[in-house]
Chain A
């Protein structure tokens, strides 16, 4: 692994207004350490019954492509053009106006022109013209066309795994061209040859065979939860139980599995548990459907569908009435935009209705799954929570909108409403870096591997830059979010760019602020940090 340059040096060479002298079609992909991810181990693909290229690495001079690689790729492209209007249309109508060019965090952090969304899409658009279009073949480059070569496959691997499918470009494109959609499809096409990431595929195997991406077995999940309940007991003096695999519960609660075991997700989990206990919700967690997140989505849509069938079989088996989903970005993109199509109709479930407030979640009437922030915001709005926001007074908080929940769902106000009610110090980051214009963490869509650290720090730079602004000007020390990948990667990003800022899930803040019945006097937050004014007592 290469050494990560110092923050002062990392983006020194970035110039957003200067382009290489060579036309982009002449610039060959160069696998720079820290900027690409390792190829998948063949066994992983074997286990899942998928094709693979055997043992190889991207930096190999010659990739072990099968003999018929070209026909297979062309067939895969044609197939996707037939099955996805989105893909076909996006290939057809780009006018290369460049409105999307400087919207991508990877371009802003690397200055590499092929990270401009328009050029990322040109990497395939040029092939479609060059291989399928008469005029493309006739005029070649003058019409933006080129033939498919092995170099192109390498280039695809490099750049379609330098896109986090964040959709920021799609917001600014006059036709809504969504390069994330292009990336999703291009990763599928590479998969047809068995070209995939190790980092993104191992979690798929775990999720498929074991139930969650890290491979936690059922008894381990139980133990982990019990461990966290021990912490809760110590901090609040309360002995709380978490129902696991409970038949007949009203609600099935599914959250990204990282919340069971990894910091700082575990604090978010403690927040959920405290909340559910506080309101006496009849719910259950499942060790079979123990992953809300979906690593399949980072590979192919079929794999995505494969992983989440469990949630709905579990809902049937446990005979729950409806589902609450925890805080996670891409998980909610998949749930919100794909689940109903893949797994519906859900006639064995009921239209979600909060047993505490009586609110019917009409917007989820068909899918029957509610986002935890929607659920909690409703509780707060009805005054059902006993809250002491001053318990978060040791924090100055800002909120990072995750790409997926922002541009693939539109949940902006619910988390803000919750934060503003459970803490006293909330500051927004600059306008052009939040809500629908939010910047990616730089590590999304299965790219949060260690070997990819340089690119992660580059891609996360625009986000970090905005955090730095509120950190310096308003003393922000907490970056809150509603995404498990954020919770996994933003701490690293902050340590690198903005030391002194911690990352927290929104429900961790809720957990801090909830005044629980029968609790002892709280002196620390859920991380054992002293509350404001309690420094002496701890």
Chain B
């Protein structure tokens, strides 16, 4: 079968397996220490070591040329209005550009949609990708920050505030956070887009569906725990703080298999992270078309592996054309030829 949805279904299958593993492992076999301590620690180690490896690997590879993509007016004559953000000429301006890229997805915000109507190309605004990506990433960030309350004691004030704001719209009881809904909205949009937008579907692999489905599963198991099953928060907190302070315990109170599923999915995400496209989180900071200043003619960029390349020197060239040049009455430069000879 050659369906456009194969890769999606394969990812779904993997997700199902990832859910089944802790269900059997904890629910049936009772391997709480494995799933509650060993795997989370292992995942964390893979995550951290993997990301550091990627980072060092990028940082150590040289960037031979200064190749910013200039999306705005360069700095040239003083009376010409220039774009500090899109054609940054200093480190500070590069910083600004990066800030807008990383936190506001500025380049994605430019997105357009091209349509062919008969013989006419029409460009429409297409901000939904930006919106979906923002909802998802912002939601993700807020959720991670909110989780700090499990791991840090006393709970930092900003986490409390965040939680209050996030839970301000009392949607259900107990509170369903706004960020949970928004991230689901964002993720669903990104997923549907991958399934039903012909172009995006065509370029998608299982490895593109998988992270989306994995994060969706994490969010859903999280919400389920909170809203429906209500596991023993106190016990989880106790366990999490012990975990964070490297004095792991096997949770005494029965935490429910759902908790272990949630935890295992998070561990899977952490382990998958360094080996996948998710490294764009770190990679974006290294992108030479965005993090270099457009000051090429002001400041020389050095290529560490530069090597000399032989070119046709003036002396060689003149020798070749001596006759025609003399005939045309063009000056012959013996002086330079001698000088050049001396130099070599």
Show the binding face of A for B, using Cβ within 8 Å. Answer: 7-8, 11, 14-24, 81-86, 88-89, 92-99, 101-103, 108, 113, 116, 118-119, 122, 135, 139, 141-144, 167, 170-178, 181, 208-209, 211, 217-219, 222-223, 244-245, 247, 287-288, 302, 305-310, 313-314, 317, 336-338, 340-342, 344-345, 359, 361-367, 369, 374, 377-378, 381, 406-414, 417, 430, 432-433, 436-437, 461-462, 465-466
Contact = CB atoms under 8 A, between A and B. Distances in A.
A218 B333 CA distance: 14
B294 interface: yes
A377 B199 contact: no
B86 A341 contact: no
B282 to A, nearest CB: 9
B311 A89 contact: no
Contacts of B116: 11, 14-16, 108
Interface string B52-95: 00100110011111110111111111011101001101000000
A219 B306 contact: no
B61 A101 contact: no
A341 B66 contact: yes
Contact of B61 (A81, A309, A362): A81
B10 interface: yes
Contacts of A95: 208, 277, 280
Given A219-B324, A307-B311, A317-B333, A176 B297 contact: no
A477 B233 CA distance: 74
A23 B2 contact: yes
Interface in B84-122: 86-87, 89, 101, 105, 107-108, 110-116, 119-121
Nearest to A336: B296
B233 to A, nearest CB: 35
Contacts of B325: 218-219, 287
Contacts of A135: 275
B208 A306 contact: no
Interface residues of B, number: 99
A413 B105 contact: no
A333 to B, nearest CB: 9
Nearest to B302: A341
Contact of A337 (B67, B284, B328): B67
Pairs A-B, 5 closest by C-beta atoms: A410-B74, A410-B70, A309-B311, A219-B328, A93-B283
19 contacts: A93-B284, A95-B208, A99-B108, A101-B199, A142-B205, A172-B110, A175-B283, A208-B312, A222-B330, A317-B314, A317-B333, A363-B75, A377-B80, A378-B77, A410-B73, A410-B294, A414-B76, A432-B123, A465-B119
Contact of B63 (A85, A101, A217): A85
B63 A86 contact: yes
A361 B74 CA distance: 13
B170 interface: no
B331 interface: yes
Pick from B61, B66, B72, B301 the residue with the most CB of A within 10 Å.
Answer: B61
Contacts of B283: 89, 92-93, 175
Interface stretch (B24-32, B243-251, B285-293): B285-293
Contact of A306 (B296, B310, B330): B310
Contacts of B58: 85, 88-89, 92
A96 B71 contact: no
Given A19-B201, A341-B300, A410-B70, 9 more contacts: A19-B202, A85-B62, A92-B279, A96-B204, A175-B284, A337-B67, A340-B301, A367-B297, A407-B69
Interface of B: 2, 7, 10, 54, 57-58, 61-67, 69-77, 79-81, 83, 86-87, 89, 101, 105, 107-108, 110-116, 119-121, 123, 129, 133, 197-208, 275, 277, 279-280, 283-284, 286-290, 294-303, 305-306, 309-314, 317-318, 320-321, 324-325, 327-328, 330-331, 333, 336
Pick from B10, B81, B110, B325 the residue with the most CB of A within 10 Å.
Answer: B110
Contacts of A172: 107-108, 110-112
Contact of A417 (B80, B83, B129, B311): B80
B132 to A, nearest CB: 10
Nearest to B316: A209
Given A16-B116, A113-B202, A309-B311, A170 B79 contact: no
A18 to B, nearest CB: 6
Contacts of B198: 17-19
B187 to A, nearest CB: 13
A102 B202 CA distance: 13
Contacts of A92: 54, 58, 277, 279-280, 283
